[in-house]
Structure 1
Amino acid sequence: MKNETILNAIQKHKKLPNVKFRLKEKTESFTDTLFYTLFDVETSVEKHINSLEKDFEELVDLACWEQHKPCAKVWESYLNKLPEILERLNLDAHSIYQNDPASSSVEEVYLSYPGFYAIAIYRLAHELYLKGFPLVPRLMTEYAHSKTGVDINPGASIGDSFFIDHATGVVIGETTIIKNNVKIYQGVTLGALSVDKKMQNVKRHPTIEDNVTIYANATILGGETVVGANTVIGGNVWLTKSVPANSLVSHTPEIKIKTVTHE
């Protein structure tokens, strides 16, 4: 009798019929297969494209509980976009290789750089986000987040030849716009000044123009904040206002060093 009471109480509070963790697991499996299909030389493209289509059909069944969303029609248009996405990811990989003296080959970037992996999954998720496919894009980028420490919302708009160095702790919000040839380092946040729910459909994250470098632990906030082209943002900068092109923005802490003599 006691167990029945507990079971009834738990069941009473399980109110959301569409919370199916199988969707999360299937999305992660789909993401892994997609990544290998695009990059792993030993993975057959033809064979796995067919497998991915079947996996996607399962995602449609699990994620598209709103009947008015034409989810089943997404796969063909998404498939047509994959060559373009791969081309852009190759540009990202070469940008990382060319800008990081620690990288010994482009192959090293593909195989071991968490920043590249996070960018790759973001670009693959972003296309589904643009098509209005529900939930799966967010689950894809959160999967990459769990692996890399990089949190890129699939709604962000990111240009070509993007470089994230060291990766861990990077946050890029949903309405962020990043142009071409931008480099950012660990701990950078491109966030919102306010997290009020009423701002859901408002641009609340910054715009980063071409050829900007943002060093470690800098925080740039606000939908009206624009960092002009060719600007360098120094480490630990807190920025909530726009910066003109060709600027150097720095934070200078006071550092005191005291030498202790031993008698």
Structure 2
Amino acid sequence: MDETSRKDRCKAEMEAARSFRKEVPEIVNQLVETCNRTDCFNHVGPEPIPSRETVIDIIHRMNRILYPGYFLRTRVDEFNLSYYFGQEATTLYEHLSEQITHALRHDCIRHNLACVQCEERGQQTAITFMRELPRLRAILATDVRAAYEGDPAAGSYDEIIFSYPGLFAITVSRIAHQLWEAGVPLIPRIMTEYAHSITGIDIHPGAHIGESFFIDHGTGVVIGETTVIGDRVRLYQGVTLGALSLPKNAGEQLRHKKRHPTIEDDVIIYAGATILGGDTVIGARSHIGGNVWITESVPPDTKVFMKKPELIYKEKSD
């Protein structure tokens, strides 16, 4: 191809690109128009909204406070520990109080609620939450020990803190539950759904979970909003603590009622088990076998398991 032909081709390509680009303003106009329709969702208006990115950053900041020294590039020792906590806690308070304020104000304006002094309440809620950090550290320590005692593959506490998805999901759940109990909108669900996306473990922030809780492997675990879990409970992958299927239009009637099971102390639930219903109670010290389906209560000190299936062995034919 000679020089003139190449130039002509380049001009044709640029003109084609220009003609396509000219369509963008009309597409923009159509997108703007969709924001005026009631059948599309958007957040266009003066009210603030929490930042998902900042909430995720808050999770990681809390992780650095709850497990000091683990998630840093620098060393923490007895000489800089107070400085370390001071820096982390101050920044956490500023970001957390701001995001809680945004969440409260968003609900207030969007739903036309009575004024609750969002900024002051956001600051009060944040500092009240932070007062609970020492208690949260103590409870999470029981979870770490439960993981070590319940998993022979665990080489050390450090390995569990650094790498176990179950512990990360439980940590985020305990943080989010504290905010949920304080009446903070949006943020607890952002937190737990972030952990869900990372670990495959779906724990609603409304679930009440006792100490020394261990999720082994974890992928596919689902724990519903009104679940109550006692102390020293162990779950394996694929366990569902869920609600029974709802009749049509029953969602509003059951929204604030107990829909998910209660698991009492020292229960072990093996992989793939499904336990459903707000009236279902798994009694203390019971063991629930893999792949069972339970919709009725189980007495304490009971083993529930599937009847051993019949296996058929056939020689391979040539």
Global fold match (TM > 0.5): yes
Q: Distance in 2 between matches of 1:262 and 1:145?
A: 45
Name which of 79, 98, 117 aligns with 1:58: 98
CA contact (8 A) 2:243 2:277 kept: yes
Partner of 1:158: 209
SS at match of 1:259: coil
Aligned-residue offset at 1:5: 3.8
Partner of 2:222: 171
Could you give the per-residue CA deviations for residues 143-164 of structure 1, whole angstroms, max 9, x where no partner exists? 1111110000111000010010
Question: What amino acid sits opposite 1:50 in the alignment?
Answer: T
Q: Distance in 2 between matches of 1:111 and 1:94?
A: 14
Aligned-residue offset at 1:7: 3.5
Aligned-residue offset at 1:71: 2.9
Change (3 A) 1:231 1:262: same
CA contact (8 A) 1:114 1:167 kept: yes
Q: Distance in 2 between matches of 1:11 and 1:188?
A: 41
Aligned-residue offset at 1:252: 2.5
Question: TM-score, normalised to structure 1's length?
Answer: 0.93
Name which of 129, 145, 155 aligns with 1:104: 155
SS at match of 1:205: coil
Partner of 2:64: 36
Name which of 47, 63, 79 aligns with 2:87: 47
2:36 is aligned with 1:12:
yes
SS at match of 1:102: coil
CA contact (8 A) 1:23 1:63 kept: no
SS at match of 1:139: helix
Partner of 2:129: 78
Q: Distance in 2 between matches of 1:72 and 1:228?
A: 41
Unaligned stretches of 5+ residues in structure 1: none
Question: What amino acid sits opposite 2:290 in the alignment?
Answer: G
Aligned-residue offset at 1:129: 0.8
Partner of 1:180: 231
Name which of 288, 294, 298 aligns with 1:233: 288
Partner of 1:122: 173
SS at match of 2:171: helix
Question: TM-score, normalised to structure 2's length?
Answer: 0.78
Considering only aligned residues, what root-mean-square deviation do their CA atoms show, in Å?
Answer: 2.0
The count of aligned residue pairs is 263
4+ residue runs over 6 A deviation: 18-21
Change (3 A) 1:21 1:112: farther
CA contact (8 A) 1:191 1:205 kept: yes
Aligned-residue offset at 1:238: 0.3
CA contact (8 A) 2:177 2:206 kept: yes
Unaligned stretches of 5+ residues in structure 2: 1-24, 70-74, 77-83, 109-114
Could you give the per-residue CA deviations for residues 202-257 of structure 1, whole angstroms, max 9, x where no partner exists? 00000000100000010000000000011000000000000000101011253332
Larger CA Rg, structure 1 vs 2: 2
2:203 is aligned with 1:203:
no
Q: Distance in 1 between matches of 2:57 and 2:276?
A: 34
